[in-house]
């Protein structure tokens, strides 16, 4: 197991996408558990989904920061593609660790709105890399995605597998992030770690994710579509497990070493963060329904069968996601393990409190 080489207490950290699901959850964990830390959160707060939800997350962060004397929270509204803004932030704050979670997410949205993905995921990430080059940081951690595995037939997905066949623009941008990070690690000795997240879910999550959008539709009496006729499996990973994994990674930067050519051996790693327990979509929907009834979001006599329809696979989707997390476990002593029912129960309880 690796020995942590970065102490987060007293450090200045940048978290991009801080109003997002993973970003906000990470910021709150850092404020809760680190002493005398300064966290700068950057987010464009765009309207890809309900801005009120992003505002809710930012309010929770601000309230928590008030309770943590010695810790500082700075919220910046801005676009990752604004190179001058990124340069100014790095100049003003001199970040120790950068966690880049800002991205345009969603596979299907990338088919109809490709420009958003090039701006946020390619240009935005390039700006972060350039800033880390000119203002050296101890560690750059960035979000990749399980989507880079495409329609890989070998399961579980290992970070040793080839990932040269993306099936969506979103996946292609995430693979590009990994390639760019590797090049900058090699050229400029920037310690970087990419994290391939597997289907993140939980309270205050993204409304475009299946569990959230299904809930919204069922509550309105609308029909939900279950793709690939229900023959999909997803490695659902609870938000707290994702955040714990990110925090451990932040504290373990790849070591700088010099190769025989006198140039840096890229201080570069990639990990999967997933539950290693793929769930059939039909089983997942059944558990979700049960937990929504338990939380009194749906009535006990809800006719679930009449509100679902099985449909073909959508372009850009894959039939299964399944994480091999052995490297994460070996290096960091951590393996996500929150059961799906427990995670959906917490989501259903939050949903009732927030919306009903």
In whole angstroms, give the CA distance from residue 283 to residue 286. 5
Q: How confident is the model at residue 352 (pLDDT cuts 50, 70, 90)?
A: very high
What's the mean per-residue pLDDT of the chain? 95
Q: Give the model confidence (pLDDT) of 4-32 as tens digits.
A: 999 999 999 999 999 999 999 999 999 99
Known catalytic residue: 170? yes
In the chain, % of residues over pLDDT 70? 100
Looking at the whole model, is its pTM more than 0.85? yes
Answer whether 78's CB lies under 8 Å from 16's CB. Answer: no
For residue 152, pLDDT over 90 is answered with no
Asked if the structure places residue 264 within a domain, the reply is yes
Question: Cα–Cα distance between 293 and 24 in angstroms, integer?
Answer: 28
Provide the angle, in degrees to the nearest 10, between the axes of the packed helices 83-93 and 124-134: 30
What pLDDT, in 10s, does the model give residues 175-230?
Answer: 999 999 999 999 999 999 999 999 999 999 999 999 999 999 999 999 999 988 88
Which pLDDT band holds residue 274 (cuts at 50, 70, 90)?
very high
Residue 100 covered by a domain? yes
Q: What pLDDT score was predicted for residue 260? A: 87
pLDDT of 82 reads 98
129/153 Cα distance (integer angstroms): 32
Domain extent at residue 104: 12-201+237-276+322-337
Angle, vertex CA 320, rays to CA 271 and CA 286, nearest 5: 115
Of 48, 49, 170, 271, catalytic: 170
pLDDT band at 77 (very low <50, low <70, confident <90, very high): very high
- The 3-class SS string of 70-138 reads CCEEEEEECCCCCHHHHHHHHHHHCCCEEEECCCCCCHHHHHHCHHHHHHHHHHHHHHHHHHHHHCCCC
Within its chain, how far is the Cα of 314 from the centroid?
Answer: 22
- Taking a C-beta distance cutoff of 8 angstroms, is the pair 140, 62 a contact? no
CA atoms in the 13 A half-sphere facing the CB of 104? 29
Asked whether residue 221 is assigned to any structural domain, the reply reads no
The number of folded domains in the chain is 1
Number of CB atoms found within 10 A of residue 251's CB:
18
> Quick one: pLDDT at residue 262?
83
CATH number of the domain where residue 173 is located: 3.40.50.720
Give the residue among 70, 159, 147 at the shortest CA–CA distance from 111.
147
- Locus of tokens 């290992």: 158
Does 300 fall in a domain?
no
Q: What is the pLDDT of residue 320?
A: 86
Contacts 24+ apart (CB under 8 A), 185-188: 185/254, 185/264, 185/266, 185/267, 185/268, 186/263, 186/264, 186/266, 186/268, 187/264, 188/132, 188/133, 188/264
pLDDT in tens, 91-107: 999 999 999 999 998 88
Report the percent of the chain where pLDDT is more than 90: 89
Give just the sign of the alpha carbon dihedral 31, 34, 40, 41.
negative
- Is 81 inside a domain boundary? yes
Q: Please give the pLDDT value at position 228.
A: 86
In a domain, 214, yes or no: no
Does the pLDDT value for residue 316 go beyond 80?
Answer: no
DSSP state of 301: T
- Closest to 109 in 3D by CA, of 347, 315, 303, 271: 315
pLDDT for res 261: 82
């Amino acid at each position: 197991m690796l020995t942590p080489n970065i102490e987060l207490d007293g450090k200045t950290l940048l978290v991009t996408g801080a109003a997002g699901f993973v970003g906000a959850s990470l910021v709150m964990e850092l404020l809760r558990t680190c002493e005398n830390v300064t966290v700068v959160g950057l987010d464009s707060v765009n309207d890809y989904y309900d801005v009120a939800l992003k505002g809710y997350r930012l309010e929770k962060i601000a309230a928590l920061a008030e309770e943590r004397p010695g810790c500082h929270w700075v919220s910046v509204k801005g676009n990752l593609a604004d190179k001058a803004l990124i340069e100014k932030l790095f100049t003003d704050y001199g970040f120790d660790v950068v966690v880049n979670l800002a991205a345009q997410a969603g596979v299907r949205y990338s088919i109809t709105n490709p420009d958003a993905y090039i701006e946020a995921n390619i240009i935005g990430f390039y700006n972060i890399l350039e800033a880390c080059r000119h203002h050296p940081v101890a560690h750059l951690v960035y979000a990749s995605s399980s989507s880079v595995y495409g329609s890989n037939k070998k399961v579980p997905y290992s970070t040793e597998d080839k990932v040269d066949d993306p099936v969506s623009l979103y996946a292609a941008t995430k693979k590009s992030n990994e390639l760019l990070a590797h090049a900058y690690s090699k050229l400029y000795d920037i310690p970087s770690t990419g994290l391939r997240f597997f289907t993140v879910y939980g309270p205050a999550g993204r409304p475009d994710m299946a569990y959230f959008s299904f809930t919204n539709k069922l509550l309105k009496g609308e029909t939900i579509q279950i793709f690939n006729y229900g023959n999909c499996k997803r490695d659902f990973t609870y938000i707290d497990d994702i955040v714990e994994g990110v925090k451990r990674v932040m504290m373990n930067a790849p070591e700088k070493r010099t190769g025989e050519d006198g140039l840096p051996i890229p201080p570069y790693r990639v990990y999967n963060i997933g539950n290693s327990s793929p769930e059939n979509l039909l089983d997942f929907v059944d558990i979700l329904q049960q937990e929504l009834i338990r939380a009194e979001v749906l009535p006990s006599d809800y006719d679930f069968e009449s509100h679902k329809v099985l449909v073909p696979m959508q372009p850009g989707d894959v039939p299964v996601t399944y994480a091999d997390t052995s490297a994460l476990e070996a290096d960091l002593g951590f393996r996500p393990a929150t059961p799906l029912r427990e995670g959906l129960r917490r989501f259903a309880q939050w949903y009732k409190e927030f919306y009903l």
